[in-house]
């Protein structure tokens, strides 16, 4: 009997419960896929192109093949093939040690025909630019036109005309991309993969090796970050499997090094906009015209939503994807949304300043009346404003004179976060009282292993640590790939149903053997006890002994009413800007987030914190820097590719917006939304502080000083 709502009263659900694998992860005991060392493992190292654009004329592996420890070489881009970016794969060497593989990679002789490159957007958009892809480097998308923007501009009380841009940022997963593949026999592959989709990885390994998918086992016990960039087996995974086959099944490990991770592990496309925004004195936005572009390297993906969040009756927008000789974009935490949020929220803030309006009020005036989120936004804005001290601390833009200037900013965001309805979780109860959950999903960091255990423990009246919550295995019942903030809403409902059904089976099975022969409906579970008509009768453990030799096993499916879709959210930022050095100091960030019913408030909060920290990196530090002459990325490391350290992270206040009507919505995913608005809100706070708009992200001293100099105020 599948459930259509979550229980009203809960002991565990909606409380703060530590991750089951938290201590193991924090102490280093947890074994990540890249930590695995199956017997006989070889190390694979990738030879990649230093040239942004070249044709391989010849490739000679004879010297490398004979080098110590070298067991096999896989050529990816042989003679005649084109490499399209710094970091594009050419060949992979498998050797006994990583050092031997690295030495052999350098011994592969490659002769290149260097082709002209367009590694930056400026180069790619120039007249007579070398073609990165057939048909030109600038691909215009469908234009959006709504209403009559020209008329609306003519009638507006005020307007702004501005340009904003944010650079490409790379994925920088702490655990790099890769997997270790082993041919177990002629027909079976086992892979230890750092992936956010064990089933997708299994499918791709099966397909590329032409074996049935049932013969592939992909294992991801834990993993070190994916953010949207780790779907599928990747060229490195399929190559590891091919190399393993060449060496009679010895496992081959291919995980990217840090440089390659930056170059080829995926990135968030850049975004640039020329935008006009017009409004009335009372703060109603009447028109928007925008031309935008961005690059996803040698792939599309640079589109983003605009207008964003706000309702604008008259607008037109044209967007172009620009192709450059650079590593291609991959989905990154809320693809497109942080970009759209930066452009929209900057423009609305600049318009507010122009019209002399409070940034909070102009936002409230432009929410879509028909959108269910509007009421949520209004509540969240009020809560966030209170937490940041907007009333006491906000000063209108341009009113500060000192060296150190404090500013406040905010941004709104939105996301879906609904689940898939075709996923399954199995629940098995054995007579030794083991409760095991299984599903082929994986924990990209959301805490899904713990979430499933919490749901089971709630149903069985146990502790989450009593539950064996087994995920990260592609041979388990179909589980959700972790993308689009869909894991928790996809997996919680089938888990709940599996547990309810297993519990009912248990009751049915043991009722006849219980004292007084109660009916199954007389039984309940709480605090580790079996209750008969509400009275504790025996321990759960003793009750399970009555199951006998054959375990109880159920396969739970999704049912309506347990999950929902669509969230809002608002973030406020408090900064201090040193106007003489351009250094921005974050004082405080407030994140107010709705997401239906929160299963585990602790992992939920951790998700929001992670999102905010990712967002503040986007706002403050990150930038892929490419040399126009060589076409090479200049900062593929963790030194000059800047990321926040502990002391760069301010106080972050996370507020869960969850009145009763939110909880009734059921579970909604939270991975993406809290990373969207941070960078936009930071930009707005900086502009509020210094009185001028910093038009280029991130908020580096260079960009801030340049903005001040532009205005003649430095």
Partner 1 sequence: MKAFEYVGAKSVDQAVKALTSGSAAMAGGTDLINRMKDYVTSPDRVVYLNDVKELAGISGDSGTGLTILSGTRLSDLLANDSIKKSYPALWQTASEVGTPQIRNMATIGGNLMQHPRCWYYRSGFGLIPKSSDGKHMLREGDNRYASIFMTDGDALYAHPSSLAIPLIALGAKATLIGPDGERTMDVAELYKVPTSNTESPFASRPGEILKSVSVPAAAGKNGSFEARHKQAHDWPLVMASASLTFSGDTVSDARVVVYGVAPLPWRSKAAEEAIKGKSVTLDSARAAGSAAAEGAKPLSMNGYKVAMLKTVITRTLCVTVGNRYWEV
Partner 2 sequence: MSQPDQEPTVPESPENVPETPLGPMCRHLRSKGMYVYTDGVDMGFDHDYDNTIYWCLKTMKSFGPDDDMVEKQSCCSTERACYQPV
Footprint of partner 1 on 605-624 (CB under 8 A): 621
* DSSP structure class, residue 354: H
Q: Is 702 in the site for partner 1 (CB under 8 A)?
A: yes
Q: Which does 63 bind (CB under 5 to 8 A by kind): partner 1, partner 2, none?
A: none
CA–CA dist 479, 492 (Å, integer): 11
- Least distance between partner 2 and beta carbon 240 (Å): 12
Closest Cα to residue 585, out of 647, 652, 655, 674? 647
Question: What does 606 bind: partner 1, partner 2, none (CB cut-off 5 to 8 Å by kind)?
Answer: none
The piece of 232-240, 241-249, 255-263, 344-352 that touches partner 2 (CB under 8 A) is 232-240
- Cβ of residue 602: shortest distance to partner 2, in angstroms? 25
Q: Which is nearer to partner 2, 318 or 358 (CB)?
A: 318
In the complex, the smallest distance separating the C-beta of residue 672 from partner 2, rounded to whole angstroms, is 12
Q: Which of 403, 432, 465, 661 binds partner 1 (CB under 8 A)?
A: 403
Which residues are registered as beta bridge partners of 410? 572
Per DSSP bridges, beta strands 158-166 and 169-170 are unpaired
Q: Is 167 among the residues that bind partner 2 (CB under 8 A)? A: yes
Q: Contact 582/708 with Cβ under 8 angstroms?
A: yes
Q: How far is the CB of 200 from partner 2 (least distance, A)?
A: 4
Report the 10 Å Cβ neighbour count for 637. 12
Could you give the string, one character per residue 126-145, with x where binding to partner 2 holds by CB under 8 A and - elsewhere? Answer: xx-x---xxxxxxxxxxxxx
Q: How far is it, in rounded angstroms, from Cα 251 to Cα 244?
A: 6
* 578 binding partner 1? (CB under 8 A): yes
Question: Helix (H) and strand (E) counts for the chain?
Answer: 19, 29
| 3-class DSSP assignment, residue 539 | strand
CA 607 to each of CA 4, 174, 422, 595, 656: distance values in angstroms, whole numbers, following the listed order = 26, 16, 25, 12, 12
Please state the φ and ψ torsions of residue 258, each to the nearest 5 degrees: -60, -40
Residues of span 92-111 touching partner 1 by CB under 8 A: 99, 102-103
Rounded to the nearest whole angstrom, what is the least distance from the CB of residue 20 to partner 1 in the complex?
30
Instruction: Please calculate the CA angle 553-558-561 and round it to the nearest 5 degrees.
Output: 130
Closest separation in Å from C-beta 644 to partner 1: 7
Binding mask 199-218 for partner 2 (x = CB under 8 A): xx---x--xx----------
CA atoms within 13 A on the CB side of 7: 14
The yes or no reply on residue 582 touching partner 1 (CB under 8 A) is yes
Closest CA to 44 of 330, 254, 222: 254
Spatial contact of 458 and 11, defined as CB atoms under 8 Å apart: yes
Report, in Å, the least distance between residue 293 CB and partner 2: 9
Among positions 197, 342, 530, 598, the unique one binding partner 2 when judged by CB under 8 A: 197
Residues 304-343 that bind partner 2 (CB under 8 A): 304-306, 318-320, 328-331, 335-336
Contact of residue 108 among partner 1, partner 2, none (CB under 5-8 Å per partner type):
none
The residue among 235 and 591 lying less far from partner 2, judged by its C-beta, is 235
Cβ proximity to partner 2, 103 vs 121, nearer residue: 121
Tell which residue, 505, 489, 501, has the closest CA to residue 452.
Answer: 489
Task: Report the residue number, 304 or 540, with the smaller CB distance to partner 2.
Answer: 304
Our CB check for partner 1 shows the closer of 383 and 625 to be: 625
Q: Which does 588 bind (CB under 5 to 8 A by kind): partner 2, partner 1, none?
A: none
* Residue 703 lies near partner 2 (rule: CB under 8 A): no
**Residue 645 sits in the site that holds partner 1 (CB under 8 A):** yes
646 counts as binding partner 1 under rule CB under 8 A: yes
> What does 374-420 look like in DSSP terms, one character per residue?
HHHHHHHHHHHHHHHTHHHH---TT---SSEEEEEEEEE--B--PPP
The torsion angles phi and psi of 146, rounded to 5 degrees, stand at: -135, 135
| Residue 693 within binding range of partner 2, rule CB under 8 A | no
Identify the helix (H) or strand (E) that includes residue 91.
strand 89-95
Two structure tokens written together for 392? 């006491």
**354 backbone dihedrals φ, ψ, rounded to 5°:** -65, -40
Please report whether residue 518 would count as binding partner 2 according to CB under 8 A. no
Instruction: Give the Cα separation of 406 and 387 in Å (integer).
Output: 16
Residues 28-67, interacting with partner 2 (CB under 8 A): none
Distances (CA, A) of 399 to 351, 395, 419, 683, 690: 16, 7, 47, 17, 9
Where would I find the H helices in 578-677? Answer: 601-620, 660-663
Task: Report d(CA 284, CA 280) in Å as an integer.
Answer: 5
Q: Between 269 and 464, name the residue whose CB sits nearer to partner 2.
A: 269
Query: Least separation, in Å, of the C-beta of 294 and partner 2?
Result: 9
Shortest Å distance, C-beta 49 to partner 1: 14
- Give the one entry of partner 1, partner 2, none that residue 701 binds, where binding means its C-beta sits below a cut-off of 5 to 8 angstroms depending on kind: partner 1
C-alpha to C-alpha distances, 24 to 31, 32, 446, 599, 622, nearest whole angstrom: 9, 11, 16, 22, 30
Number of neighbours of residue 282 by Cβ within 10 angstroms: 11
Q: Is 81 in the site for partner 2 (CB under 8 A)?
A: yes
- Number of residues counted as binding partner 1 (CB under 8 A): 37
Binding mask 83-112 for partner 2 (x = CB under 8 A): -x----------------------------
Which one among 55, 147, 642, 653 touches partner 1, defined by CB under 8 A?
A: 642
3-state secondary structure of 701: helix
* CB closer to partner 2 out of 322 and 523: 322
Q: How many CB atoms lie within 10 A of CB 599?
A: 28
Site for partner 2 in 233-262 (CB under 8 A): 233-235, 238
Which listed range, 352-360, 364-372, 405-413, 477-485, lies at the site for partner 2 (CB under 8 A)?
477-485
Which partner in partner 1, partner 2, none is near 143 (CB below 5 to 8 A by kind)?
partner 2
Per CB under 8 A, does 542 bind partner 2? no
Binding footprint of partner 2, residue count (CB under 8 A): 71
Return the number of the residue (99 or 111) whose C-beta is nearest partner 1.
99
Q: According to the binding rule CB under 8 A, does residue 536 interact with partner 2?
A: no
What are the structure tokens assigned to 150, written together? 């020209």
Binds 21, which of partner 2, partner 1, none (CB < 5 to 8 A, cut-off by type)?
none
Q: Rounded to the nearest whole angstrom, what is the least distance from the CB of residue 705 to partner 1 in the complex?
A: 4
- 28 counts as binding partner 1 under rule CB under 8 A: no
**Among residue numbers 556 through 595, which ones bind partner 2 (CB under 8 A)?**
none
Nearest C-alpha neighbor of 589 from the set 628, 565, 616, 559? 616
Binding residues for partner 1 (CB under 8 A): 99, 102-103, 403-404, 578, 580-583, 585, 621, 625-630, 632, 634-635, 637, 639-640, 642, 644-648, 700-702, 705-706, 709, 714
């Amino acid at each position: 009997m599948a459930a259509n709502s979550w229980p009203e009263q809960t002991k565990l659900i909606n409380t703060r419960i530590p991750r089951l694998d938290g201590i193991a992860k924090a102490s280093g005991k947890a074994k990540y896929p890249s930590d695995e060392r199956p017997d006989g493992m070889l190390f694979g190292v990738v030879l990649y192109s230093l040239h942004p654009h070249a044709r391989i004329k010849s490739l000679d592996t004879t010297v490398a093949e004979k080098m110590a420890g070298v067991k096999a070489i896989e050529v990816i881009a042989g003679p005649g093939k084109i490499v399209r970016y710094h970091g594009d794969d050419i060949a992979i060497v498998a050797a006994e040690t990583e050092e031997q593989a690295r030495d052999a990679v350098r011994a592969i002789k490659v002769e290149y025909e260097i082709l002209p490159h367009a590694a930056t957007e400026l180069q790619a958009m120039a007249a007579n630019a070398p073609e990165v892809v057939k048909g030109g480097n600038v691909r215009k998308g469908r234009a959006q036109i709504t209403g009559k923007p020209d008329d609306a501009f003519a009638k507006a009380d005020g307007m702004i005309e501005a340009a904003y841009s944010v650079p490409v940022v790379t994925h920088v997963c702490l655990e790099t991309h890769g997997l270790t593949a082993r041919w177990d026999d002629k027909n079976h592959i086992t892979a230890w993969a750092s992936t956010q989709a064990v089933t997708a990885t299994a499918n791709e390994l099966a397909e590329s090796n032409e074996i049935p998918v049932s013969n592939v086992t992909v294992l991801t016990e834990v993993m070190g970050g994916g953010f949207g960039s780790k779907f599928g087996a990747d060229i490195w995974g399929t190559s590891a499997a091919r190399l393993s086959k060449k060496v009679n099944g010895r496992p081959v490990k291919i995980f990217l090094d840090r440089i390659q991770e930056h170059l080829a592990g995926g990135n968030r496309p850049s975004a640039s906009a020329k935008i006009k925004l017009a409004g009335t004195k009372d703060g109603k936005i009447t028109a928007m015209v925008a031309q935008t572009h961005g690059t996803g390297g040698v792939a599309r993906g640079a589109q983003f939503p605009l207008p964003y969040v706000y309702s604008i009756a008259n607008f037109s927008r044209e967007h172009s994807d620009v192709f450059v000789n650079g590593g291609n974009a991959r989905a990154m935490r809320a693809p497109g949304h942080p970009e759209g949020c930066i452009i929209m929220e900057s423009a609305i803030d600049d318009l507010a300043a122009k019209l002399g309006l409070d940034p909070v009020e102009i936002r409230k005036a432009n929410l879509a009346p028909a959108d269910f989120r509007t009421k949520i936004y209004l509540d969240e804005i009020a809560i966030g404003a209170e937490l940041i001290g907007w009333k006491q601390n906000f000063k209108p833009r341009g009113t500060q004179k000192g060296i150190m200037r404090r500013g406040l900013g905010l941004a709104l965001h939105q996301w879906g976060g609904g689940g898939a309805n075709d996923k399954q979780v199995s629940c098995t109860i054995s007579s030794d009282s083991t409760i095991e959950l299984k599903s082929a999903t994986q924990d990209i960091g959301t805490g899904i292993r713990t979430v499933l255990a919490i749901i089971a423990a709630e149903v069985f009246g146990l502790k989450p640590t009593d539950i064996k919550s087994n995920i990260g295995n592609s041979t388990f019942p179909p589980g959700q790939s972790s993308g689009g903030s869909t894991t928790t809403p996809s997996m919680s409902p089938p888990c709940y149903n599996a547990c309810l059904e297993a519990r009912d089976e248990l009751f049915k099975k043991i009722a006849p053997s219980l004292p007084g022969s109660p009916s199954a409906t007389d039984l309940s579970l709480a605090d580790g006890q079996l209750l008969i008509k509400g009275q504790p009768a025996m321990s759960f453990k003793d009750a399970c002994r009555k199951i006998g030799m054959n375990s109880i096993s159920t396969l739970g499916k999704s049912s309506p009413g347990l999950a929902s879709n669509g969230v809002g959210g608002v973030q406020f930022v408090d900064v201090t800007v040193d106007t003489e050095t351009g250094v921005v100091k974050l004082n405080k960030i407030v994140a107010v987030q709705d997401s239906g019913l929160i299963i585990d408030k602790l992992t939920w909060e951790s998700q929001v914190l992670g999102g905010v920290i990712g967002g503040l990196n986007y706002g403050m530090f990150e930038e892929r820097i490419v040399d126009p002459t060589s076409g090479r990325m200049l900062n593929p490391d963790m030194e000059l590719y800047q990321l926040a350290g502990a002391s760069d992270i301010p106080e972050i206040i996370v507020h869960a917006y969850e009145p009763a009507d939110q909880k009734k919505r059921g579970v909604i995913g939270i991975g993406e939304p809290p990373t969207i608005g941070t960078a936009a809100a930071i930009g707005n706070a900086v502009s509020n502080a210094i009185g001028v708009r910093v038009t280029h992200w991130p908020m580096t001293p260079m960009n801030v000083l340049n903005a001040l100099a532009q205005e003649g105020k430095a």
